[in-house]
Amino acid sequence: RDRQPIIAIDGPAGAGKSTVARQVAANLNLVYLDTGAMYRAVTWLVLQKGIAVDDECAIAELTSKCKIELTPTQDLQSSVGVWIDGIDVTQAIRTIEVTSLVSAIAAQSAVRQALVKQQQNWGKKGGLVAEGRDIGTHVFPDAEVKIFLTASVSERARRRQEDFHKQGQPEISLDQLERDIAERDWKDSTRKVSPLQKAADAVELQTDGLNISEVTAQIVNYYQQRLSQ
Ligand code: CDP
Ligand code: CDP
List C-alpha distances in Å: 90 to 1, 22, 46, 111, 203: 35, 16, 16, 20, 31
Q: Alpha-carbon distance 22 to 30, whole Å?
A: 9
Q: Say yes or no: CB of residue 127 within 6 Å of ligand 1.
A: no
CA of 87 to the centre of ligand 2 (A): 26
Q: Say yes or no: CB of residue 17 within 6 Å of ligand 2.
A: yes
Q: Say yes or no: CB of residue 215 within 6 Å of ligand 2.
A: yes
Residue 68 is part of which domain span? Answer: 6-227
Domain count, the chain: 1
Q: Say yes or no: CB of residue 213 within 6 Å of ligand 2.
A: no
First to last CA, the chain: 14
Listed residue (47, 15, 43) closest to 160, CA to CA? 15
Tell me whether residue 1 is in a domain. Answer: no
Please identify every stretch of the chain with a pLDDT value under 70, giving residue numbers as ranges: 1, 73-78
CA of 133 to the centre of ligand 1 (A): 6
In this prediction, residue 229 carries a pLDDT of 81
CA of 200 to the centre of ligand 2 (A): 24
In this prediction, residue 124 carries a pLDDT of 95
- Ligand index nearest the alpha carbon of residue 183: 1
Q: Say yes or no: CB of residue 195 within 6 Å of ligand 1.
A: no
Q: Say yes or no: CB of residue 188 within 6 Å of ligand 1.
A: yes
In this prediction, residue 164 carries a pLDDT of 86
Tell me whether residue 103 is in a domain. Answer: yes
Listed residue (15, 47, 186) closest to 103, CA to CA? 186
Tell me whether residue 217 is in a domain. Answer: yes
Q: Say yes or no: CB of residue 207 within 6 Å of ligand 1.
A: no
pLDDT tens column, 94-132: 998 999 999 999 999 999 999 999 999 999 999 999 999
List C-alpha distances in Å: 3 to 6, 20, 53, 99, 101: 9, 23, 38, 34, 36
Tell me whether residue 82 is in a domain. Answer: yes
Which atom of ligand 1 is closest in space to residue 135's alpha carbon? 23
Q: Say yes or no: CB of residue 15 within 6 Å of ligand 2.
A: yes
CATH of the domain at 72: 3.40.50.300
CA of 191 to the centre of ligand 2 (A): 24
List C-alpha distances in Å: 128 to 144, 145, 153, 154: 11, 11, 28, 30
